[in-house]
Amino acid sequence: MSGSRTAWTALHDAAQEGDVRRVALLVEERKEDVWTKDISGWLPIHVAARHGGPDVVRFFVLYANGHPKDGDMANAQINDGSTPLHLAARKGDVASLEVLVGEGRADPWIKDEDGLLPIHTAATFGHPEAVRFFLRYNASHPERGDMLNERDNDGDTPLSWAVKRGHVECVRLLLLAGADVTIANEAGYTRVHLGYLAWSDDMLSLLTRELTLKDKYDVDEADHLGHGSFGYVTTAIQMVTGVKFARKTTRPSSRDDRIFREIKVMEKLRHRNVVALVDHFVVQKEGRTSLTLILELCHENLSHWLRNHPFEKRRDEDVRRMLVGLSTGLSYIHEQRIIHRDLHTSNVLVKRLNGEEIVKITDFGLSVEVNTGETSHTDRVGCQLYRAPEVRVDDERRRLRYDYKVDVYAEGLLFYELLADFKFTERVQRLKWAIGSFFVPNFGSDFPEEVKLIKQMLSEKPENRPSSKEVAEKAKEWEERATAERKRLEKNLNEMHAKFEALQKKLKDRSKSLQEEMQEVTVVGMKKIAQKIEELEQNITQLSSYIDKF
């Protein structure tokens, strides 16, 4: 990366005018420096994003992609912290936003010096389609956080800015996407207060109306994903973004403690390996309560994955990534002082994203929040096969108090299922043996550490089990070691391949040389034969002439 001088250059001018041909000429032939900033810290790509349009933006993105060591141009910040995304959002240039994020891998989570995300900027300047673009990104990447309700340095959300500036359509989109109208800024104003200050009937109507499931989602009852004692799961498409989610609906019940427990717990959790809660709707009728949860959509649960991926078809790399994801997710849950209490293969989902399979823990209906590491919980809950010994006792009076270690026990069985070599049809019997005295690792000699850890996780006494954090650290250590070994083998293979190609070239060159030598020998031999024939012809001519004289 150059950019040692500060100046507004001819390249800035060309970028501002949107003149792609001139930009290409300046960069490729005249070698203008794409990293030169003006006095406010603007690179040519910033000017292109603010004024030039998607074609010029794409030129700089492709240039940056071709010169990755020069720096991260798509996320470069000017003096006030704005990125090219902020500037394109200010203009409402959705095409440039798509280029920056899709081709340039620009990060919509970078804030400027006022704590504003690009979605704040789009809402502030009243660009509905730009707002929709960021809402779609937010819905597709729930593990990164809730951009929709993110607050700037003054406590304002994108909705706050849209309300203050009177941008009704932006407000409508944000509300349909699930923006929280109750969040107050640093001055103590909620969105409704700001709506009153805006003196807009349309705005007040939007802010005070309670939106229903059908207002926000297109529900497909026929797209059935699963069912159980809790209720059923179908899909729902968020109308404002077009993103598909899972819709979990509980059966009406007079007991609502489990229902609201799941909402309360899931609202606290935001992690790559935990299924994200996007929205929820509570319906109370005739003293009975039912709940609809809108959740991040995954492709299958771990039980289905195990059935579809018998041991001989599992890639070591994929399994180790799953072990890391599962253990990291559980460790995070425990850090939030939550015991899951129902961890098993149906409550671990698998999401495929960019060619990677990501495990995500779900279903917090039986989970419980605790204030200390040890609790007085004695409820006999969770899937029977995965219950820890201290929960498994029939007599409640003899049932021990339990803590986070009940989840570690269940996690040990999940580790066993992922690593051990047995048929899916043998699974239940193998798990029964694993929790008894007939534990058969079935790992072979390649996994001594894994066998040792799983045995510790399945210890009869909770105090002998490792913590979820220790398990996560071990799983990460295994993955890093396996990755290093894989890279070493790949390096050796590449070196062998290079040596083979060099030898192959050497043999090819030698073969060509021999062919040339043979050709040369053949040519020389033919010349000698031709000379002999010529001499013979001369002799015959002379002899014939001599005979004619007689």
- Mark which of 212, 235, 256 sits at the end of a domain: 212
User: What helix, strand, coil percent values describe the chain, rounded to 5?
Assistant: 55, 10, 35
Domain boundary among 212, 235, 253: 212
pLDDT score at 373? 45
- The mean pLDDT of 3-13, rounded to a whole number, is 85
Same domain membership, residue 133 and residue 34:
yes
Query: Average pLDDT for residues 252-263, to the nearest whole number?
Result: 71
Residues spanned by the domain of 52: 10-212
As a whole number of angstroms, the distance between CA 151 and CA 172 comes to 19
Rounded CA separation 108/119 (Å): 8
Q: What percentage of the chain carries pLDDT values higher than 90?
A: 49
* CA proximity to 330, closest of 412, 419, 435: 412
pLDDT at 438 over 90: no
Mind listing the pLDDT tens digit for each residue in 397-426? 545 577 899 999 999 999 999 988 888 888
Q: Is residue 328 part of a domain?
A: yes
Q: In what order do the strands lie in the sheet with 300-301?
A: 300-301, 348-353, 356-361
Question: 394 or 98: whose pLDDT is higher?
Answer: 98
Mean pLDDT of 135-149: 89
Domain match, 358 and 432 both: yes
Residues 369 and 279 reside in one and the same domain? no
Contact 184, 155 (CB under 8 A): yes
Average pLDDT over residues 527-537: 69
- Residue identified by tokens 């001599």 is 546
Residues 148 and 225 in one domain: no
Residues 138 and 230 both lie in one domain: no
Residues 116 and 44 reside in one and the same domain: yes
CATH code for the domain of 346 = 1.10.510.10
> Which amino acid is located at 406 in the chain?
V
Question: Are residues 384 and 414 located together in one domain of the fold?
Answer: yes
The confidence score (pLDDT) of residue 28 equals 92
What is the tens place of the pLDDT at every residue in 269-279? 989 999 999 88
pLDDT 10s digits, 93-107: 999 999 999 999 999
On whether residue 219 sits in a domain, the answer given is yes
- The chain-wide mean pLDDT, for the chain, equals 85
> Which residues make Cβ contacts (< 8 Å) with residue 253, sequence separation at least 6?
259, 288, 289, 290
What is the tens place of the pLDDT at every residue in 359-387?
A: 999 988 888 887 644 444 545 455 778 88
pLDDT in tens, 160-174: 999 889 899 999 999
Query: pLDDT digits over 451-474, tens only?
Result: 889 989 999 889 999 999 999 999
Q: Are residues 152 and 224 in the same domain?
A: no
Residue 135 has pLDDT above 50, yes or no: yes
Q: Determine the average pLDDT of the residues in 6-14.
A: 93
Is residue 71 a contact partner of residue 62, using CB atoms and an 8 Å limit? no
- Segment 221-228 mean pLDDT: 75
Stretch 4-17: mean pLDDT: 90
Does the pLDDT value for residue 76 go beyond 90? yes
* Last residue within a domain, chosen from 183, 212, 241: 212
**454 CB-contact burial (10 Å; exposed 0-12 / middle 13-18 / buried 19+):** buried
Cβ–Cβ under 8 Å, residues 159 and 179: yes
Is residue 253 over pLDDT 80?
no
Please report where in the chains the tokens 């917090």 appear, as a residue.
364
What residues have CB less than 8 Å from 440, skipping those under 6 apart?
Answer: 430, 433
Q: How far apart are CA 113 and CA 339, in angstroms?
A: 38
Could you report the per-residue pLDDT of 318-370, keeping only the tens digit for each?
999 999 999 999 999 999 999 999 999 999 999 998 888 999 999 888 888 87
**Cα 388 to the center of its chain, rounded Å:** 32
* For residue 300, pLDDT beyond 50: yes
Give the count of beta carbons closer than 10 Å to the beta carbon of residue 13. 15
74 is a domain residue = yes
- Pick the most confident of 46-55, 237-246, 371-380, 399-408: 46-55
What pLDDT, on the 0 to 100 scale, is given for residue 83?
98
pLDDT of 378: 46
Residue 550 covered by a domain:
no
Q: Which residue has the tokens 């790949």?
A: 490
Predicted pLDDT at 543: 61
- Are both 343 and 264 inside the same structural domain? no
Query: Is the distance from CB of 424 to CB of 440 less than 8 angstroms?
Result: no
b/e map of 116-132 (b: 16 or more CB within 10 Å)? bbbbbbbbbbbbbebbb
Look at residue 372 in the predicted model and tell me its pLDDT. 46
For residues 355 and 353, what is the distance between their CA atoms, to the nearest angstrom?
Answer: 5
pTM for the model:
0.75
The answer on 330 and 256 residing in a single domain is no
User: How far is Cα 33 from Cα 96, in angstroms, rounded to an integer?
Assistant: 22
Kindly state the percentage of the chain with pLDDT values over 70.
82
143-147, 228-232, 412-416: which has the minimum mean pLDDT?
A: 228-232
Q: How many domains does the chain have?
A: 3
Alpha carbons 162 and 170: distance in angstroms, whole number: 6
Give per-residue pLDDT as tens, 441-456: 666 556 788 888 998 9
Is residue 43 within 8 A of residue 8, CB to CB? The reply is no
Please answer whether residues 190 and 158 qualify as being in contact, where contact means their C-beta atoms are separated by less than 8 angstroms: no
Using CA atoms, how far apart are residues 322 and 409, in angstroms rounded to an integer?
17
The pLDDT score that the predictor gives to residue 484 is 86
Report the distance separating Cα 190 and Cα 209, nearest Å. Answer: 15
One domain, residues 272 and 322: no
Burial class (CB in 10 A: 0-12, 13-18, 19+), 368: middle
pLDDT at 437 over 70: no
Residue 512 lies in a domain: no
- What pLDDT is stored for residue 196 in this prediction? 58
Better pLDDT: 191 or 491: 491
Supply the CATH number for residue 279's domain: 3.30.200.20
Q: For position 405, what pLDDT does the model report?
A: 93
- Say if residue 284 is in the same domain as residue 320: no
